[in-house]
Amino acid sequence: MADIELSNLTDSTNADNGTGVFDKLIQSVEHHIESQYKAGRITGNDYSSVYMGSMQSVLSESVKFVLSEQQVEKEVDLLSEQIISEQKKNEAGGLIDLEKKKNQEQIDLIIAQTASQYEGIDASRKDTNRKNLLNSKQVIKIGKESELLTTQNSELLLSGVVDRELKTEQKIATASNAIDSTNKANADVALTNSKEVDQIYVTTSIRPKEVTKLSEEIDLLISRDTEQAAFTVRTDSQAAKTLLKTTKETELLTTQNTELSLNGISERDLKTEQKIATTSGAVDSTNRAVAEVDFTKAKETDQTYITTNMRPLELSKLQGDIDYANSKELDQIYVTDNIRPLEVTKLQSDIDYANSKELDQIYVTTNIRPLEKSKMEEEIDLLQAREIEQLAATVRMDLESAKKVLLIEAQTLGFKVDGKQKLLKQMFEGFAIETTTNGAVTAPAPSLNSGASLEMVANSIFDDLAPTEGTI
């Protein structure tokens, strides 16, 4: 836009050669005043008054016209920029398209979050099922442990009865100094058979259960540090007793080996003498009686050795076994009375906790999740409604932009027409003055030396207001 120059207002060097707005208007006014003066309508001092008034009015209106022309140009430029900005918003990839893309991304994000929440619900259900299965297995394990404890208690009671009966028999045999080898052998065989039967029963019935129980106890003890500490103390005590028992058993075995070696040597010597006596056909009853007396004395000596040396060791071993069994029984009673109730209580607490969590999960699944799902669906509906509203707003913005463009064009046209109307008004005022001065209209419409006339200005206004735009 060009700066306002004085030449736009006036650039004349004399009264007839100017091309500025003031020059053109004042030339027209002068012609009208001159024509009125020649016609005698303006005389004397009226001429100077009319001329000065006309000059002041023309100068003021000329300045306003020049300034308004610059303002109109600026307003037209501003409206053009606004039209371009609105067109860019409506273009592909413009601001409206970016807002649409942003709304679609938000909808996709909410849909993805909803799917993720459904996956979390499914995972929580699977975890609840796994915990329920684990609790069922723990309940079965507790039942097996209870059965095993009952069996062990029965075994301990049975072992205590057998041991006491055995000790009673041994004490009776020791007190009576029984020398009847046949009865002793039968008693030993019966004792051995009884022990073998007991051992077979323990091996086939008790030991598998003990192995199973030990395996379950090991799995249980690994996860319980507090019980492990107490168990370690009891284990150390049992280890010391076992070591003492092992030492006594070693001493007993050594003594038994020595005894068996002596018995073997005596029996071999006796058999050798019997064979010699039989082979030689000895019939001397005296020698046979002496041999039998010697054999009886040897057996009595062996029996005395067993009674004075072996029996105390066997009694000590049996006492150690009894003490060890009593210690195990006390430990078992302690575990049964103290540890097992705690384990059962803890497992019951775990089961209750798992059931509580399951109930909480069921409550969440049946009450909270539907609400969350309903909320998500409402949010999706809201976003879809917003998108529809956004589309409607876009249409409204397009319509408003079109209206603004039309309004700007109308304003631009109005500014141009307004300026021309002001010019036409000034020309009519001059024409009116001339008509008043001369008393008659000398021509259909006043005209200037430059060729501008009322008819031209009016036609230009009509052209601007016509359906097709025109310029002057």
SS3 of residue 453 by DSSP: strand
* Residue where a domain stops, chosen among 322, 356, 381: 381
The verdict on 162 and 271 lying in the same domain is yes
The verdict on 318 and 420 lying in the same domain is no
Count of other CB atoms within 10 angstroms of residue 420:
17
- Candidates 370, 348, 368; CA nearest to 359 is 368
* Residue where a domain stops, chosen among 336, 359, 381: 381
Q: State the residue for tokens 């075994």.
A: 155
Asked whether residue 446 is domain-assigned, the answer is: yes
The verdict on 410 and 355 lying in the same domain is no
The verdict on 357 and 441 lying in the same domain is no
Full pLDDT tens readout for the chain, 472 residues: 566 677 777 877 676 777 888 888 888 888 898 888 888 888 878 888 898 999 899 999 988 888 888 788 888 889 999 888 888 877 777 777 787 788 888 888 989 888 888 888 888 888 888 877 887 787 688 778 878 877 877 776 776 666 667 766 766 665 565 456 556 656 666 676 666 666 667 667 776 776 677 667 666 756 665 565 566 667 666 766 766 776 676 677 666 666 655 666 666 666 666 656 555 654 566 677 777 788 888 888 888 887 888 778 888 888 888 888 888 888 888 888 888 888 888 888 888 888 888 888 899 889 998 898 889 889 999 999 998 998 898 888 889 888 888 888 788 888 777 877 887 787 777 777 777 776 655 555 455 444 456 677 777 777 877 765 444 4
The verdict on 177 and 269 lying in the same domain is yes
The verdict on 94 and 115 lying in the same domain is no
Phi, psi (degrees; rounded to nearest 5) at 249: -65, -35
Domain with 160, as residue range(s), is: 111-381
The verdict on 65 and 122 lying in the same domain is no
Asked whether residue 386 is domain-assigned, the answer is: no
Give the burial class of 203: count Cβ atoms within 10 A of its Cβ; 0-12 exposed, 13-18 middle, 19 or more buried: exposed
Asked whether residue 470 is domain-assigned, the answer is: no
Asked whether residue 78 is domain-assigned, the answer is: yes
The verdict on 83 and 122 lying in the same domain is no
Asked whether residue 1 is domain-assigned, the answer is: no
Number of domains in the chain: 2
- Candidates 327, 317, 324; CA nearest to 166 is 317
Asked whether residue 37 is domain-assigned, the answer is: yes
Measured CA to CA in angstroms, residue 181 lies from 167, 187, 340, 370, 435 at distances of 19, 10, 51, 91, 180
* Residue where a domain stops, chosen among 350, 381, 412: 381
The verdict on 36 and 136 lying in the same domain is no
The verdict on 100 and 116 lying in the same domain is no
The verdict on 345 and 400 lying in the same domain is no
In terms of phi and psi (left: phi > 0; alpha: psi -120 to 50; beta: otherwise), the region of 26 is alpha
Q: How far apart are CA 114 and CA 297, in angstroms?
A: 102
Asked whether residue 286 is domain-assigned, the answer is: yes
Asked whether residue 472 is domain-assigned, the answer is: no
Q: Detail the DSSP E strand segments found in 259-343.
A: none
341, amino acid identity: P
Q: What is the CA radius of gyration of the chain?
A: 66
Measured CA to CA in angstroms, residue 18 lies from 24, 166, 345, 449, 470 at distances of 7, 155, 117, 11, 27
The verdict on 356 and 397 lying in the same domain is no
